[in-house]
Structure 1
Amino acid sequence: MKALLASLLLLACSVQSAELQVIQGDARRTWSSAELLNHPQARDIEIPDDAAYKRSMYYRAVPISVLLDRIAPGDHLQAVALDGFAAELPAATLLATQGARAWLAVEDERQPWPALAKGKPSAGPFYLVWSNPAASQIGPEQWPYQVATIRQLAPVTQRFPALLPAADANADVQAGFAVYQKNCMACHRLNGAGDAEFGPDLNLPHNPTEYFTGDFLRQYIRDPQSLRRWPQGRMPGFSETVLPSAELERLIAYLRHMAQRKGSTNL
């Protein structure tokens, strides 16, 4: 009997063990999964085309806005995952109640989510998901899973001047910088600048535009495994739907431009 009670106690503790840090300026709040699952605004939601699972999924979730009471639409946030993935997110998109809406899905360890792939964990314990993502052009890099921390930060342009193109760079390069922030920065650094600890630097020691010739860089971005078959490869392919051809060309224009600005601090 004592052994049974001890086991039940351990189970109860484990259900509440997952914690999310929300840092807003000088304020810091820790939310347990148990608190969030029982939050007054928690809802059972369906995500018809889940970015991580590639199918319809059902979650217990809270609107992310209710956890960001000190955040204004003009602020900037970052969601950091357990593996170092760091998604840059404008607060206005997270706070929106019309169009695309951001939810924090919370995994209940008594009803765990499926593994993301064979031999891999689930997307839990916390996963930022979107209802109606197409309304705000939400890309797959804005669906961070295994989230550990959500924190308020200065905008990317202020934190990392080494990412900035030259002031006289043309419009395609400037637009490509925005594409880079949305689609690449969650996994990669460039010129050593960025918070991601997931993928390699895209300018040091060499920029991909320097060693991919012809259309191979475009092919690699669209379908990495078609060029480098590697079972452990984690880079997703960026389809035409996610990254239209015009945006892909702007991204390559930005990378090619930055190949001439290795280590630049733009100060």
Structure 2
Amino acid sequence: MIRAIFWMKWLSILCLLCVWSANVYSAKLVFSEEGEVVKELTLGVMKKQLLTHQVSIYDPQYGKDKRYLAFSLHDVMALAYGKSWEGKLCTDVKFAALDGYQAVSSFDKLLEQGGYIVYRDADLPGWELIGRSQSNPGPFYLVWTGSKQTPKQAFPWPYQLAAVDTVEFKNQYPALYPHSVKETTSVFAGFRLFKDRCMKCHALDQQGGKVGPDLNAPRSILSYRDADTLREYIRQPSKFRYTQMPDHTDLSFQQIDSILEYLAYQGKSAKN
């Protein structure tokens, strides 16, 4: 009787492990071009067709050294879009997470070596919880090995990664792009900073990230928050409240002012 109970417990554990393994291997990434799906890759398929790397990095999201099992980002892109993926005519690549976070990166950054799609923590049986909200970063997490390939240098580090889309920014986000502004102006400089730093979480006129509030709809944030408060808040929100929004103390006040100029321009454009 005792032996039968023992084996029943082991069979239950084995079944649970089989279900867990099946779920892990069925985790997938969806790849699109301008919103049109071109490929879906499961972890099982990627493990069969791609070389697995062990990556050791300082992870700025955790604030410590980490080791991961991962695929080269270039290998994944080639498997999804074909060997000539580097020649795709697009300006940006959007990385979408399960929680609504969207990291949009200029295509030239992806051409650099050093990006990896992580599928497992090399030191733990599961994922170590990440961020202020202590989220599970699986099923996939994009990391970079270069010392200058950081989130603050506008390299995408999305966890809970679910989809990749190559896009023409003007077409994908017409409400965010300052169409009538010269690239030499401070407004356009503010747009670039907003694109790199802010739209991961925030939208303008319902285009962009979905984690934070829309900053232009139904009203521009500048219509009910004074510029001085916003300038301080953008630079260091942790001084004001507990929030998922990161500090941007590396930005100068001149750079932050350019973001505010861009938001003011977009607010006026929305009224026209």
User: Structure 1 CA distance, aligned partners of 2:133 and 2:191?
Assistant: 35
List gaps (5 residues or longer) in structure 1: none
> Is the CA contact (8 Å cut-off) linking 2:138 and 2:161 kept in structure 1?
yes
TM-score, normalization: structure 1?
A: 0.82
Which structure has the larger Rg?
A: 2
Q: Any conservation in 1 of the 2:227–2:260 contact (CA below 8 Å)?
A: no
- List runs of 5+ in structure 2 lacking aligned partners: 1-6
Distance 1:224 1:138 in 2: 16
Between Structure 1 and Structure 2, how many residues are aligned? 252
Contact 1:37 1:61 survives alignment (8 Å): no
Task: Choose from 103, 121, 129 the match for 2:116.
Answer: 103
Instruction: Name 1:43's counterpart in structure 2.
Output: 53
Provide the rounded CA distance (Å) in 2 between the counterparts of 1:15 and 1:112.
Answer: 12
Work out which of the residue numbers 69, 89, 93 in structure 1 matches 2:109. Answer: 93
Q: Could you say which residue in structure 1 is the equivalent of 2:185?
A: 171
Residue identity matched to 1:183: R
Alpha carbons 1:162, 1:263 under 8 Å: kept? no
Kindly indicate whether the alpha-carbon contact (under 8 Å) linking 1:22 and 1:67 is maintained by their aligned counterparts in 2.
no
Asked whether the equivalents of residues 37 and 106 of structure 1 are also in contact (C-alpha less than 8 Å), the reply is: no
How far is the alpha carbon of 1:81 from its aligned partner? 0.8
Please state if 1:131 is matched with 2:142: no
Query: CA separation in 1, counterparts of 2:199 and 2:133?
Result: 26
Residue 197 of structure 1: CA displacement?
1.9
C-alpha change, 1:197 and 1:136, in structure 2 (3 Å) is closer
Q: How does 1:128-167 map to 2 (within 5 A)?
A: 128-134=142-148, 139=153, 142-152=156-166, 154-165=167-178, 167=180
TM-score, with length taken from structure 2: 0.80
Confirm or deny that 1:191 pairs with 2:205: yes
SS in 2 for 1:248: helix
Q: 1:200 aligns with which of 213, 227, 235?
A: 213
Deviates more, 1:51-60 or 1:134-143: 134-143
Residues 127 and 255 (structure 1), Cα distance of their counterparts in 2 relative to 1, 3 Å cut: same
Q: As a proportion of its length, which structure holds more helix?
A: 2
Aligned-partner SS, 1:142: coil
Map 1:1-267 → 2, pairs under 5 A: 1-18=7-24, 19-25=27-33, 26-32=37-43, 34=44, 36=46, 40-48=50-58, 50-69=59-78, 70=81, 71-73=85-87, 74-75=89-90, 76-97=92-113, 101-107=114-120, 111-116=125-130, 120-134=134-148, 139=153, 142-152=156-166, 154-165=167-178, 167-168=180-181, 171-194=185-208, 196-227=209-240, 229-230=241-242, 233-240=243-250, 243-262=251-270
Deviation at 1:77, TM superposition (A): 2.0
Q: Report which stretch shifted further, 184-193 or 129-138.
A: 129-138
SS state of the match for residue 110, structure 2? helix
Aligned-residue Cα RMSD (Å) equals 2.8
SS of residue paired to 1:77: strand
Conserved 8 A contact 1:79-1:149:
yes
For 2:196 and 2:268, the matched residues in 1 are separated by 22
Percent of aligned positions that are identical:
26
Conservation of the 8 A alpha-carbon contact between 2:216 and 2:266: yes
C-alpha distance in 2, partners of 1:118/1:219? Answer: 21
Deviation (angstroms), 1:247: 2.8
Q: Does structure 2 retain, via aligned residues, the 8 Å contact 1:39–1:62?
A: no
In the TM superposition, residue 250 of structure 1 has moved relative to its aligned partner by 1.8
**Conservation of the 8 A alpha-carbon contact between 1:20 and 1:147:** no
Q: Write out per-residue CA displacement over residues 199-256 of structure 1, whole angstroms, 9 at most, x where no aligned residue.
A: 11111123233333252112111221312x24xx32111221xx34443222121112
